[in-house]
Chains A and B, each alone.
Chain A
Amino acid sequence: VNVSTKGVSDFVEEATEVLEAVLRELAELDRAKGKPLDPDLLNRIFRAAHSLKGLAAMFGEERIAQLSHHAEDVLDRLRLGRLELSSEVLEALTETMEVCQLLLFETARGEHSAAATARATELGGRLAGFSDQAPPEGADPLDLLELDSQVRNVLTEYEEHRLRENVQQGLAVWKVRAVFDLADFDQGLARLSSKLRQFGEVISTLPSSDPGTGSVIAFDILFGSTVSGDKLKTSLTDLPTSVDALLEGREPPTPPTTPLAARTPPRPPPPPAPEATVPSAPPPQPEKTSEADPRPPSQRPARTAVAQTVRVEIGKLDSLMDAVGELLRVKANVARLAERSGEPNQGARLQALRSELHRESRLLERKLGELQKGILEVRMVPLGQTFDKLERMIRRMAHSAGKEVGLNITGAEVQLDKLILEALSDPLIHLLRNAIDHGIEAPEAREQQGKSRQGLVSIKAMQQGNQVVIEISDDGRGLDPERIRQVALEKGLLSLEQAARFSIAELQSLIFLPGFSTASQVSELSGRGVGLDVAKTNIGQLSGTIETRSQIGKGTTFTITLPETLAVIRALVVSVSGRTYALPANAVLEIATIEQSEVRTVERREVIRVGGRTIPFARLSRLLGLPSQPRARQHVLVVGRPHRRLAVAVDELLGHHDVVIKPLRGRLRQIPGIAGATDLGDQSPVLVLDMGSIAEEDINPESRAEVL
């Protein structure tokens, strides 16, 4: 099959949506464990796998086609009641969809790795290995129905199965005939179907051309329900319908011990017939019927939401954002011109022109603000998208580490720039792996310490102003400062003198240094080589910070603070040793001007007093490895976080700018301390500094100077 690249991107787009939906629905299926199986949910998952397979095959994506074929087969057997939904099956299906995502990712990039192929093959084998349960014995329950063969001929295998299930559970089966005007039958039919769904399961909708006239169309709806005929008829009086019983509901309800009922999911028993109702009995109708609804209303909004979403390539938003950045610059120029035109002793005309220019410039500013806000909102996605993925991952990680771990997620609704969220996924996974691997103890060890066998990992997201704070905590063993001290000494990350004077908090922050890892053996989970330093660098590149708080024996909390968006930030522009740099304005807590004489030395460290507090002092020129000229008066920026502040001296403050940060590429990308580059409107690039990691590195300076 020869398909164009456009075809491939269409395929990737649709398959991505399908996979995301399936994974959500599988999670829903997992949460509903122990409850009656929702046939509609299962059918939706089946149908998604079915169309994924068709799609993949159509586009020649052999690996995805093969794997989704196995998944479809398993799902088909599940929904036809031939295979039991065990947790092994559910697990394998979830993993299958994740591997499909991986394969899809490779497709999108034109890759084809042997590792992914091997995983797909393994999973396919696992799926194919699930065997059917024994088929039910006895007569086909469908023979009980007064179903004319014409109707039976148009039922798909699945619809037949659903009909059989309804009959076996002793529900009444009705044929509801409705006649609608051809012009707007879809609305009438939708109304009828949703009304019927309140009482039971719509099994099949058969259009019929029987009436023969051109202007109306009839439908026969097969409907299984616990509701009585009278009630059904009265509730449908406002719709052009007639109701026929194909099978009366059985009474009393099916005893749950019959072999057939035992292997089918339990369903609410039919309510007692009206004449049998005992006066004292509570009216069971509303609850019973809502339980019988095979599609809980909570599932519907999600589907609507998908339908009402437009997928936009993030690149398009980026270019829009670039345009806004340009416009902001133009606006600044207009404002400056307005300012300059304000020289005194000018004619009245010029004065009027000037005030008009001012007014227009303010209008431009307001509109630009709206545009910017609009684009930013489009880029925002709820954290829940990523949390869903993490939840599955945690379950699996805990399982393979032999730990019992509960998960508590709050703040899934908090929104973050899509690009940040994407880049955040790896560091989050890393922190969670750490928590499960090194934080949470084995169940027996926990019991010995008087803790619950099950450990708890929490992910908590909060919006704070224009920042988003994400906390990852565990109630495990905590970071042992003594062990950290020992390891840091062994690895030469700490001098004896430092080891002696570092506070617990300072010791704990050493876990972010490259080459540091307290795990004495490398586990399969945490892997080798990627340490917390990488997570920290990643977060720094997002203009975010990460810090840790830990109590031995009680647990560890990592707090990640991120800007809501990276697209446009307010930057403070400074000059140092004749060079210009920008730094995120939100990283600067305070600005002060000091005399050189105010710099004192305490314990071999330069400090200054700002706002009544003593803060370590450093020159940005030294931090960046640039030559510096001593100045009598200097500007000082206080950066860092509440307990780890640093006063950084710069030569000049050049003012605030709204800037669009561009990520750096190539070898520049991995340099800690640099968040990206921007231009201030004069086309010459300016580096944007990541003050968080620069402040940190004051403890452990590295050679970065060559590239600056």
Chain B
Amino acid sequence: MHLAPALMSYKILIVEDSKASREFIASTVESVDGVEAFATSTGFEALKLLSRQRFDLIITDINMPGINGLELINFVKKSPSYHQTPLFVITTEGRSQDRDKGLALGAAEYLVKPFERKYLEGLLLRYLKSA
């Protein structure tokens, strides 16, 4: 799948504490041409990465120890350098309260596990093209 001209590259931050799930998302993201995935398991690491580097899109889980996904969204949406960056939350079925809070805080999309690779790819294309 082609998204960007050869030299262009989009950077995507993935924050998800389950390893297999993180790698699944990362590999899906990287299957899109011109996209580079940065994956981490904690909100703390995510903050560090955000302070060092620009990201074009952020995908985060909600239930994580330490800084949870909602707190991360809140931080990102208030940060002058990131408030425009599209953000997807990953939720699990049945946790609608958390999901709704995520959307209320400014998440652009939510993904309910389990989701298809195709679905995430579609979302990426839509949001990165308009970025």
Contacts and interface: CB of A to CB of B under 8 A. Distances in A.
Given A50-B92, A60-B114, A207 B72 contact: yes
A206 B113 contact: no
Contacts of B97: 157
Given A50-B92, A54-B21, A156-B98, A186 B48 contact: yes
A55 B71 contact: no
Nearest to A47: B63
A153 B75 contact: no
B105 interface: yes
A524 to B, nearest CB: 37
Given A47-B65, A156-B68, A14 B19 contact: yes
B124 interface: no
A1 B20 contact: no
A204 B68 contact: yes
Interface in B103-118: 104-105, 113-114, 116-117
Contacts of A69: 93
Contact of B63 (A150, A156, A208): A156
A205 interface: yes
A159 B68 CA distance: 10
A7 interface: yes
Size bin of chain B's contact surface: 35 or more
Given A7-B24, A186-B44, A207-B47, A1 B117 contact: yes
B92 A54 contact: yes
A92 to B, nearest CB: 19
A519 B18 CA distance: 49
A581 interface: no
Contact of B21 (A55, A72, A159): A55
Interface in B56-99: 62-63, 65-68, 70-75, 78-80, 92-95, 97-98
Interface string A172-206: 00000000001001100100000000000000111
A55 B18 contact: yes
B75 A208 contact: yes
Given A10-B19, A205-B71, A156 B47 contact: no
Interface in A34-88: 47, 50-51, 53-55, 57-60, 65, 69, 72-73
A223 interface: no
Contact of A11 (B20, B70, B80): B20
A59 B18 CA distance: 13
A599 B43 CA distance: 79
A303 B98 CA distance: 27
B126 interface: no
B75 to A, nearest CB: 4
Contact of A154 (B17, B18, B93, B105): B105
A204 B66 CA distance: 7
A58 B114 contact: yes
A153 B70 contact: yes
Given A47-B63, A59-B20, A207-B47, A1 B74 contact: no
A206 B44 contact: no
B30 interface: no
Contact of A155 (B19, B70, B95, B117): B70
Contacts of A10: 19-20, 23
Nearest to B74: A154
Contact of A156 (B62, B75, B80): B62
B23 A209 contact: no
B38 to A, nearest CB: 17
Contact of B71 (A53, A59, A206, A217): A206
Interface string A8-26: 0011001100000000000
B101 interface: yes
Contacts of B114: 1, 54, 57-58, 60, 65
Most B C-beta atoms less than 10 A away, residue of A3, A47, A154, A185 = A154
Is chain A's interface secondary structure helix, strand, loop, or mixed overall? Answer: helix
A217 B63 CA distance: 22
Contacts of A11: 20
Which residue, B68, B79, B105, has most C-beta atoms of chain A within 10 A?
B68
Given A54-B18, A58-B24, A58-B114, A205 B67 contact: yes
Given A212-B80, A217-B51, A153 B104 contact: yes
Nearest to B113: A54
Nearest to A186: B44
A53 B70 CA distance: 21
Contact of B17 (A51, A156, A189, A204): A51
Most buried by A among B17, B71, B73, B113: B71
Nearest to B64: A47
B98 A154 contact: no
Contacts of B75: 206-209
Contacts of A3: 24
B114 to A, nearest CB: 4
Contacts of A72: 92
Contacts of A182: 48, 51
Contacts of A150: 74
B40 to A, nearest CB: 12
A11 B24 CA distance: 10
A179 B73 CA distance: 19
A206 B74 contact: yes
Of listed B74, B98, B117, residue having the most chain A CB within 10 A: B74
B92 A185 contact: no
Given A58-B24, A65-B114, A153 B74 contact: yes
A41 B101 CA distance: 25
Nearest to B104: A153
B18 A51 contact: yes
A181 to B, nearest CB: 10
Contacts of B23: 10
Contact of B67 (A14, A15, A207, A209): A207
Contacts of B21: 51, 54-55, 58
Given A65-B114, A153-B101, A154-B101, A204 B20 contact: no
B71 A204 contact: yes
Contacts of B44: 185-186, 189
Interface string B20-40: 110110000000000000000
Given A54-B92, A208-B78, 5 more contacts: A53-B113, A59-B20, A157-B95, A207-B47, A210-B78
29 contacts: A1-B114, A1-B116, A11-B20, A14-B19, A47-B63, A47-B65, A51-B21, A53-B113, A54-B92, A54-B113, A54-B114, A58-B113, A59-B24, A150-B74, A153-B70, A153-B101, A154-B68, A154-B74, A156-B63, A156-B98, A157-B97, A157-B98, A204-B68, A206-B67, A206-B74, A207-B67, A208-B75, A209-B75, A212-B80
